[in-house]
Amino acid sequence: MATRYVQPLESLRMADVATVGGKNASLAEMTRTLGSKGIRVPAGFAVTVSAYRDFLDQNALRQPIRERLEAYDAGRMPLEQAGNEIRDLILASNLPAPVADAIRDAMAEVVAVNLRLMARMGVYFEEHVARRYPEFPVRTGVL
């Protein structure tokens, strides 16, 4: 799944902040820490800074965003207005096809992995409930 635009969380470290941003790197560290303690965490991926930069460039957003931030910094525009205008610019834009394809492919892979994990956890849960509470009917094998 690792591409220029997406990285699996399990492959990331805090040292990857420049590649995937601070929140994604922190989430990856937390995921790894929990996993080493036996806590199963669903698979996930991070969208890279390169994807964001290519999105900005394809939609010619750098300058309009910069202008709004400069207007806010200079006191010519309230923060709420600057934020709303930047949000509107982003929402009116399109993802570059290679970015969209990478995200779609990563999502399909994550869903497949997580469905297998949920199926295994579901079978464990059903067996546990059936043993612990035999008076309740449990339909095993049904997700």
Note the helical H segments in the chain: 17-20, 22-36, 49-58, 62-73, 79-91, 97-132
- Structural contact between residues 102 and 4, judged by C-beta atoms closer than 8 angstroms: yes
Tokens found for residue 15: 């040292």
- Structural contact between residues 40 and 65, judged by C-beta atoms closer than 8 angstroms: no
For 78-128, how does the pLDDT look when each residue is reduced to its tens digit (9 = 90+)?
A: 999 999 999 999 999 999 999 999 999 998 888 887 776 655 555 555 565
So what's the pLDDT on residue 119?
Answer: 59
For 52-84, how does the pLDDT look when each residue is reduced to its tens digit (9 = 90+)?
A: 999 999 999 999 999 999 999 999 999 999 999
